[in-house]
Amino acid sequence: MTRTLAERLTDIREAARDLIGIVGAMDDAAFHALPNADRITYRALKNALSELGETVKTLPREVTDRHPDVDWRGFAGLRDVVAHGYFGLRQDLLLPIVRDEVPRLLASIEAELNRSG
C-alpha cells in the first residue's frame, strides 16, 4: 500500500521527535559511550535515523525545494550509512546532526503538515 504524503511527513516527524527525545536527555559523554553503555538506545537511535532517511527519499521535489535550508540529500545518504555501516558509525559526527540538523528538519516537516492541513 502506498503511503500518502501526509503519512510520510508524519513518519518523518515521529522519527525526528524520537531522535530529539533520545538525544535531548543525554550529555555528550553518554552519547559517545553508545553503543557500549546502552545498546537498546543505540539501536533505537539507528532505527529512527534509518526510518527518517528512508522516508525523506520518498518526498516529492516540490516539498524539499520549499525548504532549501534542510540537507535532504544528507539525510537520505545518512540512512544508507546507518543501514550499511553496521558497527562503524561515528558518534562524533552523529551528535551534531541530531542536535542541530534534525530540529531544522522537524520545523520544515511541521510547516509542510500545517500547509497541507
Global confidence as pTM? 0.91
32 carries an active-site annotation: no
Domain range holding 83? 5-116
67 carries an active-site annotation: no
Selected catalytic residue, list 66, 79, 90, 104: 79
Amino acid occupying residue 97:
I
Residue 108's pLDDT is what?
A: 98
Residue 91's pLDDT is what?
A: 78
pLDDT by residue (tens digit) across 21-80? 999 878 999 998 988 999 999 999 999 999 999 999 999 999 999 999 999 999 999 988
Residue 88 has pLDDT above 90, yes or no: no
Length of the chain: 117
Q: 47: Cβ–Cβ under 8 A, 6 or more apart, which residues? A: none
Residue 83's pLDDT is what?
A: 83
Per DSSP, the residues of 20-69 read HHHHHT--HHHHHTTTTS-HHHHHHHHHHHHHHHHHHTTS-HHHHHT-TT
Selected catalytic residue, list 32, 39, 73, 84: 84
Q: Is 3 left (phi over 0), alpha (psi -120 to 50) or beta?
A: beta
Cell of 55: 522516508
Query: What's the number of domains the chain is made of?
Result: 1
